[in-house]
Structure 1
Amino acid sequence: MHALDQTLVLCAYGFFSNLRPSEPFLTAYLMGPDKNLTETQVVNEIYPVWTYSYLVLLFPIFLATDYLRYKPVLILQATSLVVTYVMLLRAQGMRAMQLLEFFFGLATASDVAYYSYIYSVVEPAHYQRVTGYCRSIALFGSAAGSLTGQLLLSVAKVQLVHLVIITLAMAAVASVAPWFLPMPKRSLFFHQSPGAAAEKPRSSSTALLEKADSQDVSAVSGSGLPTGSWSSGLVGVLRVLFDDFLKCYRCRSLLAWSLWWALATCGYFQVINYAQALWENIRPSQDYEIYNGYVETLSTLLGALAALLVGHLPVCWSLWGELALCVLSLLMALCVFAMDTLGNIWLCYSSYVLFRAIYMLLITVATYQVAASLNMQRYALVFGVNTFMALLLQTLLTVVVVDSAGLGLDVFTQFLIYGGYFAVISVVFLLAGLCKVASRRRSKQQQEVLAIRRVETESSSPAMSTEVLE
C-alpha cells in the first residue's frame, strides 16, 4: 500500500473514531432516566476512573506501540471504543460505568499509535504535513459529531440513547480501518531503519542537544530490534530513553515550555472533563433544552483556527514566551472563574469556548517550540513525558479534589480550585519571564562592559608600543 493510501485510511479512522454525537451529552445521559445515576456517582466516583486508567496505561502502551509496530495497538484502540459504547448502551450500574471508563482510558492511551503510525511509512520531510492532516481530520470529526448530536437532539428531537447508538455505529465503522493498514517494518525505538537517528535536519538547538555522543541511538538501532531477547531490547530502549531524557531537559527553553505543557494540560483535562457537570447544575437537561453540542463544535473549530493562526502571529516566542504564557494563563484562569461564579449558562458557554481556544493556541506553540529542536525519537519521548506528568498531576488533583475517597467537593468548588490553579501557573511564568528579562539585561550590560574594555585596550596598545620603542 502506498504511503498516500495509508494516510487516507488513517485519516478515515481518525474521523469516524472521533465522530461521537453522544459525547457532549454524556453527563446528561448518565444522570438521566437511561442510567439514573446521581451527580456524586458520576462526578466523584465514575469520571475519576478515566484519569487513573489513562495514567497507569500510558507508559506500557507507549512501549507496546513501538515494539508491536503500531497496527495491533490501533486495533486494540478501535476495539476498546466499541466495547466502551456497547457498555454505555447496554450496561447498568455504577460499577459497570467505572469499567467503561477503564476501557475509554485504554482507548485514550492508545492515541499514541494513531499519531505515530504515519511516521513509520512516510519520509521525514512530510512529517509536518501528514501530522497536520491527521490532527485536522480528528478535530473535524469531533466537531462534526458534536454538531450532529446537537441537531438530532434539538431539531429531530431524538432521545439521548439514540445518540449513543449512532456513536457506537461510528466506532464500529472506524474499527474496520486499522485492518487495512500494513504492518510497518520500522518504528522509532525498537525497530529502526539505518540512519533513522538522523531523520530530521539539525538546527543549532538540535546540535546542542545531540553533541554529547552519537551512540545513544545505536544501542537500539540498526536493521531492527536490538540483539537479544525482548527483555534485553527493553533494557536498551529504557537506557536510551533515560539518557535522552537527561539531555533534553537540560535545555532551559525546552524545560520551560514542557513545564507549561504539563501544568496547563492537567488543568485543561479537568475543566473539559467536568464542564458538562457544571452546565448540568446551571441549566438542568431535565428542565431545559441544552446546547452542549453547539458549544463543543464551536470551541473545537475555534481551537483549530487558533492553532492555524500560530504561524502568523508576530511574536518572538523565544524572547517573550514566558510572559505570553503568563498573560494567557491568567486569561484562562479568568475564564474558569467566570464559568464558576457568574451563574449564567450563556456566559459559561462563552468562557468555555474562549478557554479552549487559548489552550489550543498555546499548546500548538509549545508543541512547535519543543519539536523544533528535537529529532523524532526525542520529540516522542518529550511528548510522552509531558503527557505523563500532566496525567500524574491530574491524578493527584482528582484524588484530592474530586474523588469521593478524598475531599469529594461539589463541582462549583472544584472549578473555583481550577481557576486558582491556572492563576498559580500565571504567577509561575510571570516570575520566570521577569527572571529571563533580568538575565538578558545583565548579559547585555556585561557585553557592553566587555566591549568598552576591548576598545580601551585597543586604544592604549599603540601608546604602549611607542613607549617600548623609545
Structure 2
Amino acid sequence: MSLLYPTLCLCAYGLFSNLRPSEPFLTAYLMGPDKNLTEAQVVSEIYPIWTYSYLALLFPIFLATDYLCYKPVLVLQATSFVVTYVMLAKAQGLRAMQLLEFFFGLATASEVAYFSYIYSVVEPAHYRRVTAYCRSVTLFGSAAGSLSGQLLLTVAEVRLAHLVWATLVSAAVAFFPPWFLPMPKRSLFFHKKPEGATERQCDYSSALIDKVDNKVPLDNQDVATVSLSSEETNGSCGLSEVLKMLLADFLHCYRRGPLLAWSLWWALATCGYFQVLNYAQALWENIRPSSEYDIYNGYVETLSTLLGAVAALLVGHLPVRWTVWGELALWALSLLMAACVLVMVTLESIWLCYGSYVLFRATYMLLITVATYQIASSLDMQRYALVFGVNTFVALLLQSLLTLVVVDSAGLGLDIFTQFYVYGGYFAVISGVFLFAGLCKMATRQHSDQEVLSRSPADTDST
C-alpha cells in the first residue's frame, strides 16, 4: 500500500497535467481572432519569456524542491498550470501573455519535483517499476492530449478557444492529486536519511527528455563508477554545506572525458531541440496558415511523441558499442537532425515539414536516451540529479543566448524562416564538433595500437 497509493496519485497528476489539447495549436490560437496578436509579438516578445523564466528559476527550484521535500513544489507546479491556462483563456494583450509564459516557465522548472518525489517514499527495489509507470503515463497524457485536440478540431469542428478550456479543465483536475500525497521525511541533500540506509536515486532531468524510462546502462563494461566525494551523514544540512558538496561533486564528475563529451552533446543539442520545438508551430503557420487551411499539428505531435518513445526504447537493442563509436554516432545523427531542420524550412512543403519534424524528434529522443544511459552508467545514483541538472542548466543558458540574439526583438529579431536556417546551421556545427572528436579518438586509438605492436617484437627478443 505504501507503494501503490503515492504511485496512483502521481500517475493521476502526470496524466492530467500533460493532457493539453490546446498545446499543438498554441501559436494559431495566439495569432487568431481570440488573442489577435501578430507573429512578431508571439515569436519575438512572448515565447522568449518562457526560456528566460525557465533558466532563472531552474536552480532556485532545484534547491527548493529538495529543501521543501518535493510535495510543496508539486503543489506549486499544479497551481502554476491552472494560472497559466486561466490566463490563456481569459487574459488579453501582450503583457498578459508574457506573464503567462512566466508562470509556464515556473511550472516547467517545478517538474523536477514530479520525477524525484517517488524516490523519497518507495524502496530502491521498486525504483525502476515506479519510474516506468510515472513516465509512461505522462507520455500517454501528452500523446492523448495532442490527439484529442486534433480530433476535436477536425471532426467535432470546435473552436481553438474551446481546446484551451478543455486544457484548463484537465489542469484543474490535476490540481488535486498532489494535495493527497504523503509528505516525505527525507530528501537528497538537505534532509538526509539515517546512516547506513541504501542511497536514493533522484533524477531531476526526466522532464527534459520527454519522460522516457532511460535508466538502464547499455554498455558499462568499459566505464568505471565515479566515487562520491561526499559521505552520507545523519540529520539536515545547511545551504552552505549543500552548495560546497555540489561544487565538489561537480568538479569530480566532470573530470571524466567520456562523461564530459556526452554532457557537451546533451547541452548543445537540447538547446537547439528546444528552439525547434518552441517555434515549429510558427513555421507551420507561415507555410500553411490556419486561417485558410485545415492544420494537423495534433496528429504530428502525437506521432512524434510516440515514435520518439519507440526510438528511445530501441536503444537497448541496438548492437552498438557507444563507448567506442559514440562520437561518430553523434556526428552522423546530429547531421541528420541538421538536415531535418533545413528540409523543414527550405522546401516549404507542409507535409515534408511535418515528416522532418517527426524524424527530428525521434532522432533526438534516441540520442538523448543514449547520452543519459552513458552518463548514468559512470555515476553514482546520488549524482544523477547534479549532472543532469547542470547539463540542463547549460542547455537553457545557451538557449537563452540564442533566443536573445536570434529571436528576441531586443536582438536581431529574425523572421521565422531565417531562424530555422540558423538552427539547421547550429546542428551542422554540432555535427562537425563531434566528427572532429571522433576522428581524434580514432587516431589516438590507432596510435596506441601501433605502439603496442611496435613494442611486442622487442619484448619477444628480450625474452
C-alpha displacement of 1:278:
0.2
| SS of match in other structure, 1:110 | helix
Q: Deviations over 1:304-342 (max 9, x none)?
A: 111111100111101001100000000000000000111
Among candidates 356, 359, 369, match of residue 374 of structure 2: 369
Q: How does 1:279-298 map to 2 (within 5 A)?
A: 279-298=284-303
Among candidates 364, 389, 410, match of residue 384 of structure 1: 389
Which position in structure 1 is the counterpart of 2:333? Answer: 328
Which position in structure 2 is the counterpart of 1:146? Answer: 146
Q: How does 1:386-401 map to 2 (within 5 A)?
A: 386-401=391-406
Whether 2:49 is the aligned partner of 1:44: answer no
Please list every run of at least 4 consecutive aligned residues from structure 1 whose deviation after the TM superposition is greater than 6 angstroms: 200-206
Alpha carbons 1:205, 1:373 under 8 Å: kept? no
Alpha carbons 1:189, 1:377 under 8 Å: kept? no
Alignment partners' CA distance in 2, 1:223 and 1:279: 55
Q: Deviations over 1:271-301 (max 9, x none)?
A: 0000000000000000111000000000000
Q: How does 1:137-216 map to 2 (within 5 A)?
A: 137-193=137-193, 194-195=195-196, 198=199, 209-210=226-227, 216=229
**CA RMSD across the alignment:** 1.7
Which position in structure 1 is the counterpart of 2:254? Answer: 249
C-alpha displacement of 1:139:
1.2
C-alpha displacement of 1:134:
1.9
C-alpha displacement of 1:223:
2.8
Which position in structure 1 is the counterpart of 2:233? Answer: 222
When residues 309 and 207 of structure 1 are mapped into structure 2, their CA distance, relative to the original with a 3 A threshold, is: closer
Alpha carbons 2:18, 2:145 under 8 Å: kept? yes
C-alpha displacement of 1:224:
2.8
When residues 135 and 414 of structure 1 are mapped into structure 2, their CA distance, relative to the original with a 3 A threshold, is: same
Alignment partners' CA distance in 2, 1:248 and 1:8: 35
Question: Which is worse superposed, 173-182 or 441-450?
Answer: 441-450
C-alpha displacement of 1:25:
0.3
Which position in structure 2 is the counterpart of 1:230? Answer: none
In structure 1, the gaps of 5 or more residues are 227-232, 459-470
C-alpha displacement of 1:204:
7.6
| Partner AA of 1:132 in structure 2 | A
| SS of match in other structure, 2:226 | helix
Which position in structure 2 is the counterpart of 1:111? Answer: 111
Which position in structure 2 is the counterpart of 1:21? Answer: 21
Alignment partners' CA distance in 2, 1:127 and 1:298: 28
Alignment partners' CA distance in 2, 1:196 and 1:426: 44
Q: Deviations over 1:406-453 (max 9, x none)?
A: 000000000000000000000000001111111111122222233333
C-alpha displacement of 1:128:
3.0
Whether 2:382 is the aligned partner of 1:352: answer no
Which position in structure 2 is the counterpart of 1:339? Answer: 344
Whether 2:435 is the aligned partner of 1:424: answer no
Q: How does 1:78-89 map to 2 (within 5 A)?
A: 78-89=78-89
| SS of match in other structure, 1:412 | helix
C-alpha displacement of 1:121:
1.7
Which position in structure 2 is the counterpart of 1:234? Answer: 239
Alignment partners' CA distance in 1, 2:130 and 2:399: 30
Alpha carbons 1:197, 1:217 under 8 Å: kept? no
Alpha carbons 2:77, 2:111 under 8 Å: kept? yes
C-alpha displacement of 1:189:
1.1
Which position in structure 2 is the counterpart of 1:462? Answer: none
Alpha carbons 2:2, 2:122 under 8 Å: kept? no
| Partner AA of 2:226 in structure 1 | L
Whether 2:319 is the aligned partner of 1:306: answer no
Alignment partners' CA distance in 2, 1:256 and 1:274: 28
Alignment partners' CA distance in 2, 1:379 and 1:191: 18
C-alpha displacement of 1:108:
0.2
Alpha carbons 1:401, 1:408 under 8 Å: kept? yes
Alpha carbons 2:9, 2:181 under 8 Å: kept? yes
| Partner AA of 2:169 in structure 1 | A
C-alpha displacement of 1:198:
4.8
Whether 2:413 is the aligned partner of 1:408: answer yes
Alignment partners' CA distance in 1, 2:41 and 2:415: 11
Q: Deviations over 1:116-157 (max 9, x none)?
A: 111112233333332222222111110000000000000000
Q: TM-score, normalised by structure 1?
A: 0.92
Q: TM-score, normalised by structure 2?
A: 0.93
Question: Which is worse superposed, 402-411 or 449-458?
Answer: 449-458
